[in-house]
Structure 1
């Protein structure tokens, strides 16, 4: 399963060189992850309401081309790996056919006290199925 997030870049996201600031990309990844979880039928707000966090434990971004103000971009988000207490999301950002950036975030499931925890079975199954492992 893949989620597609379409958006237009904002002026506040640019740097002094007129390109989108590098720190903006992880924010967009979070936007894509939230859309992915909603499309999966397990909104992240529901995960938290049930007493769990998918805490960020790693982040990688590879910048391929510059994005600038007021461009229409499409972020593709998918889950690539799922374990009982962790998962990995991967991202591909494009402007039309041009690849702008790729990325990956690693997440550990914790309880509200930030202790590692096993994901609830329904979430584990949904993510596993989306990754092609179920």
Structure 2
């Protein structure tokens, strides 16, 4: 995998939940900053779906802070909506990671449709499968690999076993 090469059409990982009242504002819609928290939930569960826990990264001495965030709002989410957060990698390199997201309202309350999971963890959805639900927000976050001293590190040199495991998981799931 080349250093700045995008990940070809990797599969989506989704996690679903209901919008809580505390996440809405006076206008009755989800407050815009909450979508960033939902992005975090999506990427955390996606990483877990690849077989890793974010917490284990810190235990291994690396961190992956957000360096940029981009959101496009299409339609608001409201209290008690059933929401799916879809996340996937669009760039993975020894130096940085870029996640892509879609937040969708699920109309089917029975739980059917691509990528719906009512329990903890992420459901994997093939890249070429249409995603369930109405698109509400799309976006991305960029991250860099840092050590505990907040210095940039190359993951392939700092933790080659982790780098190889992630690239291997991406290959298995068809993302590289």
Interval containing the TM-score (normalised by the shorter chain): over 0.9
Greater radius of gyration (CA): 2
The residue that corresponds to 1:57 in the other structure is 67
Offset, 1:87:
0.6
Q: Note the alpha carbon deviations across 1:34-83, whole angstroms, 9 max, x for none.
A: 10111111111001100000011110011110110000011111011111
Higher relative contact order, structure no. (Cα contacts within 8 Å, ≥ 6 residues apart): 2
TM-score by length of 2: 0.72
Tell me how far apart the structure 2 counterparts of residues 47 and 33 of structure 1 sit (CA, whole Å).
Answer: 13
Tell me how far apart the structure 1 counterparts of residues 166 and 137 of structure 2 sit (CA, whole Å).
Answer: 24
Offset, 1:126:
4.2
SS at 1:66 equivalent: coil
Q: 1:125 aligned to 2:125?
A: no
Tell me how far apart the structure 1 counterparts of residues 50 and 44 of structure 2 sit (CA, whole Å).
Answer: 10
Displaced runs of 4 or more, over 4 A: none
**Among 127, 143, 152, which residue is 1:107 paired with?**
143
Offset, 1:125:
3.4
Decide whether the 8 Å contact of 1:63 with 1:100 is kept in 2. yes
TM-score by length of 1: 0.93
Question: Number of aligned pairs?
Answer: 133
**Residues 31 and 88 of structure 1: CA distance in aligned 2, closer, same or farther (over 3 Å):** same
SS at 1:47 equivalent: helix
Considering fraction of residues, name the structure with more strand. Answer: 1
Matches within 5 A, 1:1-134: 1-96=11-106, 97-119=133-155, 120-128=159-167, 129-130=169-170, 132-133=175-176
